[in-house]
Structure 1
Amino acid sequence: MARWFVDRLPQRGIPSVSLRRLLPEARFVGCADWEVTGCAVDHRRLDPGQVFVAVRDARYDGHGHVREALDRGAAGIVVEREIPDAGRLQVVVDDARAAHSRLCQALAGDPSARLATLGVTGVYGKTVVGQMARAILNAAGVRCGLVGGSGWSDGVVSRPLGAGLAEAGTEPNGAWPGGAAGLASILSYMVEQQCEAGVIEVGAEALESRRLEGVTFQAAVATDLALPPGTPVDEALRRRRAKARLFRKIAPGGAAIVNDDDPDAELLGGLNLDARRVSFGLERPGRVDVSAAVQRVDSSGSRFLLQGFDRVRPVDLRLVGVRHVSHALAAAALAWSLHIDADAVVAGLESVACVANHLEAVDEGQDFDVRIDGALTAAPLAQALAALKSVSAGRLHLVLSAEGGQDRATRRALSHVAESVADRVVLTLGNPRSEDPDQVLDDVLGGFRRPGKVHVEPDRRRAIEAAVSDARRGDAVLIAGKGRNGYQIFADRVAPFDDFAVARRALVGRRARHTAWRSA
């Protein structure tokens, strides 16, 4: 576990945690119970006196490192099978990851029991809904923390994921910096900062790996469960089962909030009979708890009438695309379930000017739209293009790139979306990583039916400049694939690169050239 817990346990008045109480289904070898004050899942980071939890995944199996953990001073082990020569203090469990997550939360003081912990899941829109929900709660005077895909906040300061977590990355797979220990640490920070609520973006991977065991949710919302066409049936079922776990973790009397427009997501509302079902949607107003009548969608955002509260309220949303109206309804339904005043809901929704990596605008006074989006796969790219297409009067220009490590099918799916929606495509490099850059470009180019119409420019700076230079009044330019990622990763180097800065310089240079031309 992160050093953070060891340093602060005496301050919190939690000298130890009973494993018998925490893991009643476990089999104890050599003892009837065991009081522990710290744990670790990485034998290399274990402190003397801690318990070593032998988790395993595709790349790491802690059972093979029990001896090293004991040599480093482990007080005992939590394992999924008894280790004959590992000493007398062993606790055998069915799922070591789940046990570790529960132990992390208990050692942190069970922070979710002292917060209104709110989960947001779904295939698309988790980040947007999470930020909207937090904005609504803040507008209502409720201090709210957030754990999102790109950062976290303890209710006072926002940080990128990994920042502020002592020894972040203590879990071998590192998918969530700090893993279960990191999440427990963040929630505990929220409690320290007097947060009354905390919003957590919950992906299928976090649920499958049991990182949320020990966390109790007061409400959970599913934006959707639709997967991209072609997703294998077994993978689709696996992801949906994982997200169903979140709804089963809702506390009695809590709220299960579902999207009535998505039949798959709507089914989640019946999984937890102890939770109240709350619905939102656009397609069946009057049949759902929270709905909207869309009045306008353009490049400045959208205007809709929010329905379901004490009276109909107009909302001027600054995010582009009708999909964000659905996301706003998800956040509003969450607020509705918490009995938050409608004025705070409107104020919170209208305060969200942008969401990181989601169609962020670059405005230097030009007469066309320039947006930057972090879409790396076909489905989010299609959503971003569709949103811009719906509000653009002119041509749609796309700066397209693929990521190193993607398979050819993923890259060609990007090509199909780009060719079917964009009017002009400039193909360039994103983060080739260890791959041959030419091979990455060839894979994407091979997915176009008419590759001769694609402008290939490996230099990303020149690609952005070309797209901006070619745009005319009323057009829209989408620079996709990197978002706020401020560097390019090659096999031999990591080079600073900021899409926003490059786009701004290109726009300023274009304006200077036009001014000079007119003066001449």
Structure 2
Amino acid sequence: MNASTYPQTAHGTLVSKALPAAQQAGGIDVAATSCTDSVDSIRPGDVFVVCDSSADTHAVAKEAVRRGASAIVTERFVPVFGVPQYVVDDARAAYSELCHAILGNPSRELNAVAIAGTHGKTSIAMLLDSILNIAKKSVATATNQFTRIEGQRGRFVLPTTAPAIADFVDEALAEGCRHAVVELSEETLHTKAAHAAQFDVVCLANLHADRNSGRSPHASRQNMISALDQLTPQGMAVLNADDAESMRVLAEYDGPVLTFGLHHPAEITGSVLEQHANEQTFLLTIGDESAAVRTKIIGETHVANCLAAAAIAKVYGVSLADIARGIERVTVVPGVMHRFDAGLGVPVFVDRGATPIARGAALTAARGVARGRVIAVVGQQCSVTQALADHAVTTGGFADDKVITDAVAKVLAALEVTQTEHLRTITEKLTGIALAIMAAKDGDVVLVSGLDSSTPRQRHASTSVCESQLIQALMYELAAEQKKAA
């Protein structure tokens, strides 16, 4: 962690003050102004925290001292001399505490919001960011898709490491923001990267087990629930009344809670009034106030995310009118039922949700607006797709088999992609979309489900391939071909 990045002069702290429960051995107390958990990135004066439990602690600590570390933080004493050691129960938690303490614990100066859960986090954060901006409340928001400060794109920092989270909230404070919204993935919570941050609102969007985490369903849920431990004493938990696991948490939780839901009793409720291929309208009810809200993003899952954002906004006293305006201003959430059209007469939706629940929700939303078939474009068939789609196009092997339409070839010709694997994935995806569109008839809907050919950093790099632009370009090419054939 380069703790002097934001602000330009770090506050600094005595290690003993940042880690009061640590047992100090050898040397005098160290004043820390920077720290790291990577031995390869140590600069002279850094405090080195041994977070990798699989590493040879003695060897990495010895190398850290050789590279100029001013102190070692570890879970067990090691025979390394010349610098003080601080022995702690949990090195990863200590690393987070040290990162925040060096910067003066900036989260304590902000109205900080954490959003956790299996899916929907980015959508809720994006909606909340819009609502708070409409309400004239200065806000900085960090997700795995974007970073915004006062509504403007900021320095992109993936909020998954202790220094990244500490730097983000410190930057928000330095820029004059009073609110900070942070998306916390299950992995981030597991590694305790946000352990030292304090939140006055924690929203659990849902608690479905993350099958991709490599942990048991119980362990996965417990990681997400642990976000509640970081609430301030008067902090508010925001829970999904439609999620059975969240309601089990509610039964055992004794702090302030605000609930939201479409199908079960809750403080913040909603119901879909109309749904079309290009928009839907739902009734948002908060207490004895109601408002009809129109959104360009379809599906009940998006309505649930709107309710979650509304609940958080209500904690901060935002009016129903501003909540509705903030929701309506969000016309696209990249990868969340993102609609494309180019006069082809076939609505094409792209939803990156890859879990069975997320895929099922996307297919159900597509079914709600289809007058004909639902055609799914997927990487491989699964039981959810077989049950809910009328036809599926699987993309695996297209590039190898050279199944590339003229429209796809024209789009690819304009690309400057040198990474072979990335190009292959893009080719497969565009080919699958093209074949699905060409097979579609009037009234059909095409859903591209669970496919994502870019990483967060690729999406935000200046030289990255903008996937949405590729899909739109493909549809323009297909429309041109259709026009020529007519």
Both proteins in one fold, TM over 0.5: yes
Matched, 1:252 2:233: yes
Moved more, 307-316 or 126-135: 307-316
Alpha-carbon shift at residue 513 of structure 1 (Å): 3.7
Percent of aligned pairs sharing the same letter: 26
Q: CA deviation at 1:111?
A: 1.5
State the Cα RMSD in Å.
3.0
2:36 maps to 40
Asked whether the equivalents of residues 43 and 62 of structure 1 are also in contact (C-alpha less than 8 Å), the reply is: no
Matched to 2:175, the amino acid is Q
Counterpart selection for 1:283 from 263, 279, 297: 263
1:378 and 1:120 map into 2 onto residues whose CA distance is 21
Deviation at 1:215, TM superposition (A): 0.3
Moved more, 245-254 or 234-243: 234-243
The corresponding residue for 2:354 is: 376
- Which of 380, 383, 394 aligns to 1:416? It is 383
Q: Which amino acid aligns with 2:308?
A: A
SS across alignment from 2:182: strand
Q: Following TM superposition, by how much is the alpha carbon of 1:131 offset from its aligned partner in structure 2, in angstroms?
A: 0.9
Deviates more, 1:299-308 or 1:184-193: 299-308
Matched letter for residue 444 of structure 2: D
CA distance in 1, matches of 2:327, 2:5: 39
Give distance in 1, aligned partners of 2:464 and 2:234.
Answer: 49
Task: Name the SS of the counterpart of 1:312 in structure 2.
Answer: strand
Aligned position for 1:339? 317
Instruction: Give secondary structure in 2 for the equivalent of 1:6.
Output: coil
Amino acid in the other structure paired with 2:341: D
Partner of 2:442: 473
Matched, 1:28 2:24: yes
What is the deviation of 1:122? 1.3
Among 453, 475, 480, the alignment partner of 1:507 is: 475
Q: Structure 1 pair 145/496, CA: closer, same or farther in 2 (3 Å)?
A: closer
How much does 1:226 deviate? 2.5
Contact kept in structure 2, 1:143 and 1:155, CA below 8 Å: yes
8 Å contact kept, 2:27–2:82: no
Report how far residue 367 of structure 1 moved: 1.5
One of 403, 413, 433 as aligned partner of 1:464: 433
Q: Which runs of 5+ in 1 are unaligned?
A: 163-175, 403-413, 439-456, 490-494
The answer as to whether partners of 1:372 and 1:500 remain within 8 angstroms in 2 is no
1:211-360 equivalence runs, <5 A: 211-227=193-209, 235-269=216-250, 273=254, 275-284=255-264, 287-309=265-287, 311-360=289-338
What is the 5 A alignment of 1:83-102? 83-102=78-97
For residues 426 and 154 of structure 1, what CA distance do their matches in structure 2 show? 40
| Aligned counterparts of 1:311 and 1:394: Cα–Cα separation in 2 | 37
The question of 1:51 aligning with 2:44 is answered no
Separation (CA, whole Å) in 2 of partners of 1:129 and 1:184: 21
Q: Deviations over 1:334-364 (max 9, x none)?
A: 1122221111111111111111111211121
| 2:133–2:139 contact (8 Å) kept in structure 1 | yes
User: Does the CA contact (< 8 Å) of 1:400 and 1:428 recur in 2?
Assistant: yes
Residue 420 of structure 2 corresponds to which residue in structure 1? Answer: none
The 1:386–1:470 alpha-carbon spacing in structure 2 relative to 1, beyond 3 Å, is: same
Residue 345 of structure 2: aligned partner: 367
> Is 2:157 aligned against 1:190?
no
Paired AA for residue 114 in structure 1? E
Count of residue pairs brought into register by the alignment: 457
Q: Distance in 2 between matches of 1:513 and 1:26?
A: 69
Secondary structure of 1:11's aligned partner: coil
Aligned partner of 1:122 in structure 2 is 117
Distance across 1 between alignment mates of 2:483 and 2:66: 72
| Residue aligned with 2:108, SS | helix
Instruction: Write the distance in 1 (CA, Å) between the matches of 2:145 and 2:56.
Output: 28
Aligned to 1:137: 132
Contact 1:150 1:160 in 2 (8 A): no
Question: In structure 1, what is the Cα distance between the partners aligned to 2:280 and 2:39?
Answer: 52
Q: Which moved more, 1:497-506 or 1:124-133?
A: 497-506
TM-score (norm: length of structure 1): 0.80
Q: Which amino acid aligns with 1:11?
A: T
Which stretch shifts more, 476-485 or 119-128?
476-485
Q: CA deviation at 1:89?
A: 0.6
Matched, 1:204 2:212: no
Distance 1:82 1:227 in 2: 36
**Deviations, residues 446-480 of structure 1 (Å, cap 9, x unaligned):** xxxxxxxxxxx984443322111111222111223
1:430 and 1:333 map into 2 onto residues whose CA distance is: 45
The offset of 1:365, in angstroms, is 2.1
Give 1:199 deviation, angstroms: 1.0
Distance change >3 Å, CA 459–CA 226, structure 1 → 2: closer
Q: How does 1:365-444 map to 2 (within 5 A)?
A: 365-401=343-379, 414-429=381-396
For residue 110 of structure 1, what is the aligned residue in structure 2? 105
**C-alpha distance in structure 2 between counterparts of 1:356 and 1:232, whole Å:** 23
Deviation at 1:36, TM superposition (A): 1.5
Tell me the SS of whatever aligns to 2:216: helix
Q: What is the CA-CA distance between 1:293 and the residue it aligns to?
A: 3.0
d(CA) in 1 for partners of 2:76 and 2:171?
Answer: 34
Rounded Cα–Cα distance in structure 2 between residues aligned with 1:196 and 1:430: 50
Residues 32 and 46 in structure 2, CA contact (< 8 A), matched pair in contact too:
yes
Residue 212 of structure 1 and its aligned partner are, at CA, apart by 0.8
Give, as a single letter, the amino acid of the residue that structure 1 aligns with 2:100. Answer: Q
Deviation at 1:426, TM superposition (A): 1.7
Q: In the TM superposition, what is the alpha-carbon distance from 1:496 to its structure 2 partner?
A: 8.2
Letter in 1 for 2:387: S
Q: Residues 461 and 160 from structure 1, CA distance in 2 versus in 1: closer, same or farther, beyond 3 angstroms?
A: farther
**One-letter code of the match for 1:373?**
D
Other-structure match for 1:410: none
Taking the aligned partners of 1:109 and 1:377, their CA distance within structure 2 comes to 39
CA distance in 1, matches of 2:194, 2:156: 17
- Deviations 1:104-130 (CA, angstroms, capped at 9, x unpaired): 111122111121110111112111111
Q: What secondary structure sits across from 2:334 in the alignment?
A: coil
- Once the two structures are TM-superposed, the CA of residue 31 in structure 1 deviates from its matched residue by 4.7
1:39-75 CA deviation, whole Å, 9 max, x = no partner?
Answer: 11111111101111111155x5655311111111111
CA–CA separation in structure 1 for the residues paired with 2:44 and 2:212: 46
1:461-514 per-residue CA deviation (whole Å, 9 max, x = no partner) reads 433221111112221112234447289x9xxxxx98665445434433443344
CA distance in 1, matches of 2:94, 2:482: 64
Normalising by structure 2, we get a TM-score of 0.86
Q: Distance in 1 between matches of 2:118 and 2:283?
A: 26
Paired residue type of 1:515: K
Mean Cα deviation higher: 78-87 or 376-385: 376-385
